Structure 1
Amino acid sequence: MTMAATSLGFDAEHLSRLPDAIKTDIAAKKFDGAVVLVARRGEIVLHEALGYADRSADKPMRLDSVFFTFSILKQLTNALVLQRIDRGDIAFTTQVREVIPEYGVKGKEHTTIADLLLHKAGLPFDVPPLSPEQLGDIRAVTTFACSLVPQAVPGTAVSYSAVVGHSVLAEIVRRLDGGKRSYTQIMVDDLLKPLDMTDTNLGARADLAVRRVPVVMVDRRLGAFQPEQLEGLGAVMTETFELPAGGGLSTAMDYYRFAEACRRGGELGGARVLSPAILRFATTNATGTLPNGLWDYARGMRGWPEIPANLGLGFFLRGEGVFPHAFGQLASPGTFGGIGSGSNCFWVDPERELTYVFLSAGLMEDSYSWERHQRYADLVQSALIL
């Protein structure tokens, strides 16, 4: 923890409860380790590596440990789509078939870019029944998506698509590029390099291997995913693997750079990747009071209430109300960010000028992980006294 914490309005003693809580949970074997980062107004006040990168090998966590992203990668894919809207190549109201003609069949004819971003396209939650090689092939997953009958009329319900929807969004980005670059290269050129996110990549980049945290499911209770599914994603990742919904590698510092750029209206270090206008729009609730079907299982399993989706066009939002939320109960309603299955979380509270990143080793069942994120987020918020 830095001396800046007090000068930036934190009660330093109270903020120290955050790493203490993480250490307690690691000691209780709820998960294996984590890197956590808290910043205010662009100044980092806490950045710690805690526990194990690999408990079985007694390998300690490092500040530059490289994590499997899981679904916080969706926000990077969404940012590339938002860039194309910023440039006037497409609009939120553009129908998918205008870019991918073969998508417009079987009741999907009027699905829009916004429907995909908001998980309102009626696409399935489950990992598609494809081989590992096909799962990491954007065109193969898009072909599968084109064959589907939507599970709900597009635009009418929020039904979280864990994999399929973001492969379609990535294929839109790739086709708008004219097929000149791979999707991975587009992300590097248009987002990662401008933001100096040097430790982030789709696929298992060879130079990141020595710092890579293995994907291990510590909490094997059945929830949204089978434990073997999540562990399998880490196992099948190759250098050319492209899973835009969640198959990336990154560090806490790199995700801080992305989140901080979003907090600053799309710019960091003189590099602008998004306009302030599109970020304002993308971090406004666009799903109203619609519930998120992602948590239907937790209503029966955990006794949770119906939870509003609170989705913007690219980010999860805190919104208002008392219900389980990874961004905490105490966050400002406009807090936005992303969540990775059983593992990672980042958020920005623009009202309080806070940026937070938490990447973890040793996956938890999703609903328990969600509650863990909530507890940690509230520790950050309650430590802020000025």
Structure 2
Amino acid sequence: MSMNPTALKRLEDEITADIERGAYDGVNLILARHGEIALQGSYGFAERATGRPTAQDDVYRILSMSKAFTNTLAYRALGEGKLALSTRVVDLIPEFFGRDRFRAVRKDRINLAHLLTHRSGMPATPDPGLPADKFGVLADVIEALGAVDVVNEPGTNLNYAPSINHALMGEMVRRAYGYEHFRDLARELVFEPLGMKDTAFGLPESRRDRAVPLKVYVPEDGWLAPEDIECLNDHITEDAEMPWVGGTSTVDDIFRFAELFRRKGELGGDRLVAPAVIDAATSLQTGDMPNDLYSGIAAMRGWEAPAGNFGLGFSLSGTGTAPNFFGPFTSPRTFGNYGAGSTLFWVDPERDLTFVFLSSGVMDEGDNVARFQKLSTLAVAAAV
């Protein structure tokens, strides 16, 4: 499969050194080429405080990587004619207007394309209109969003949305397919067809003993406080439906998921997503627009500001030398998704290379970008 064993060892050694110096606690990793696994490893601790070692079947709360699953439901709906990129949120969720007509300004302009590309103009907040202990009931979140104002003209700026866009998208696809529960829709249309036996929205009780706890290592005055993330240890329950942050999965299941897109929507003989939809999803849709969130992180670090580089839901590598999760040496159409300070996968279509990385110990997001830039470069350097 044309992988350099010395370079693979270098990648492992760097991860081990990171863990030993306390940058994060542990990792499950897969690096594959042409669909064949070249390196799979479990390193460090699932929970450093108790000494519990990382195991291959550990179940991670994957945070915003959950959005990739919600995006995939939208891709299926697009390919099956149940939704269009121009479908407005209010076409399916009329109560999104809210009860106050003065707060409904611009809500009628937000469509599926805006949600997928983080250009909806809704606030970039981790709280979708409710406190964290109320996140798990999607119907309550949708009701609360009726009272949340649009802050920018839809389509005019790119600001990574931690919660609101995908809460709305999840409800749109649920209604488009006529399911009572979003979690059942995801299970039947994505997880079961792909054989993702350890993946769910929510954390089934049967997997709780394998779950990796969220332990956050960020400054108290950072963009997110530790409790903003660690509270999800309690709130991602068996019944919780959070299309933006509530997914749980294993390294092997995420690899199967990534393989679906590397193979242009086909896996195991089934065509789950239309190749034309994947082509658009992995093509640049946001031009040279910056991503307000990561531009701010870059400014604080004294880095060159990166372009937003979004397709339809997927983050793209793009070109240039600005720091980004996939590093500057992956091919420009390398695509993937990530979760705050901890999880990432990407596929480099030019090199036919897949990288999956799930870590325990949630890092500061600037440190996380620096880590993944380094490790993504080491991963792509192993391809010869």
With the length of structure 1 as denominator, give the TM-score of the two structures. Answer: 0.95
Partner of 2:223, secondary structure, is coil
Residue 11 (structure 1) shift: 1.1
Residue 131 (structure 1) shift: 3.3
Distance 1:131 1:221 in 2: 19
**Correspondence for 2:106:** 107
**Correspondence for 1:190:** 189
Residue 66 (structure 1) shift: 0.7
Residue 281 (structure 1) shift: 0.7
**Correspondence for 1:298:** 297
**Correspondence for 1:316:** 315
Q: Does structure 1 retain, via aligned residues, the 8 Å contact 2:236–2:246?
A: yes
Distance 1:230 1:384 in 2: 35
Partner of 1:193, secondary structure, is helix
**Correspondence for 2:37:** 44
**Correspondence for 2:214:** 215
1:248-267 per-position Cα deviation (integer Å, ceiling 9, x unaligned): 11001100000011000011
1:212-250 per-position Cα deviation (integer Å, ceiling 9, x unaligned): 101001343643311110111222221111111111110
Does 2:149 align with 1:149?
Answer: yes
Q: Does structure 2 retain, via aligned residues, the 8 Å contact 1:68–1:248?
A: yes
Q: Does structure 2 retain, via aligned residues, the 8 Å contact 1:12–1:383?
A: yes
Distance 1:173 1:280 in 2: 20
**Correspondence for 1:131:** 131
**Can you give the 5+ residue segments of structure 1 that lack an aligned partner in the other structure?**
1-7
Distance 1:184 1:341 in 2: 22
User: 1:48 is aligned with what amino acid?
Assistant: G
Residue 269 (structure 1) shift: 1.2
Distance 1:98 1:28 in 2: 52
**Correspondence for 2:115:** 116
Distance 1:218 1:289 in 2: 32
1:276-321 per-position Cα deviation (integer Å, ceiling 9, x unaligned): 1110011100000000011243144211222211000010000111
Alignment of 1:318-337 (within 5 A): 318-337=317-336
Distance 1:98 1:208 in 2: 37
Distance 1:190 1:222 in 2: 40
**Correspondence for 2:173:** 173
Instruction: Identify if the C-alpha distance between structure 1 residues 361 and 113 changes in structure 2 by more than 3 Å, giving closer, same or farther.
Output: same
With the length of structure 2 as denominator, give the TM-score of the two structures. Answer: 0.95
Residue 132 (structure 1) shift: 3.3
Share of identical aligned residues, percent? Answer: 37
Segment of structure 1 superposing worse, 146-155 or 366-375: 146-155
Distance 1:98 1:152 in 2: 20
Instruction: Identify if the C-alpha distance between structure 1 residues 349 and 299 changes in structure 2 by more than 3 Å, giving closer, same or farther.
Output: closer
Does 2:199 align with 1:200?
Answer: yes
**Correspondence for 1:5:** none
Residue 106 (structure 1) shift: 2.1
Instruction: Identify if the C-alpha distance between structure 1 residues 307 and 223 changes in structure 2 by more than 3 Å, giving closer, same or farther.
Output: farther
Q: Does structure 2 retain, via aligned residues, the 8 Å contact 1:222–1:365?
A: no
Partner of 2:28, secondary structure, is strand
* Pairing partner for 2:54 from 31, 54, 61: 61
Q: Does structure 1 retain, via aligned residues, the 8 Å contact 2:299–2:305?
A: no
Distance 2:323 2:313 in 1: 20
Residue 61 (structure 1) shift: 0.2
Segment of structure 1 superposing worse, 159-168 or 228-237: 228-237
Q: Does structure 2 retain, via aligned residues, the 8 Å contact 1:220–1:364?
A: no
Residue 364 (structure 1) shift: 0.5
Distance 2:219 2:206 in 1: 31
* Pairing partner for 1:12 from 5, 13, 31: 5
1:108-156 per-position Cα deviation (integer Å, ceiling 9, x unaligned): 1111100011111111121225233421122222222222221110011
1:321-368 per-position Cα deviation (integer Å, ceiling 9, x unaligned): 110111111100000000110100100001110111000001100111
Does 2:269 align with 1:270?
Answer: yes
**Can you give the 5+ residue segments of structure 2 that lack an aligned partner in the other structure?**
98-103
Distance 2:303 2:233 in 1: 30
**Correspondence for 1:3:** none
User: 2:73 is aligned with what amino acid?
Assistant: L
Residue 34 (structure 1) shift: 0.4
Q: Does structure 2 retain, via aligned residues, the 8 Å contact 1:31–1:219?
A: no
Partner of 2:258, secondary structure, is helix
Partner of 2:354, secondary structure, is strand
**Correspondence for 1:28:** 21
Distance 1:140 1:12 in 2: 51
Distance 2:296 2:312 in 1: 24
1:196-226 per-position Cα deviation (integer Å, ceiling 9, x unaligned): 0001111120111111101001343643311
Q: What is the RMSD of the two structures over their aligned residues, measured on CA atoms?
A: 1.3
Q: Does structure 2 retain, via aligned residues, the 8 Å contact 1:223–1:297?
A: no
Residue 44 (structure 1) shift: 0.5
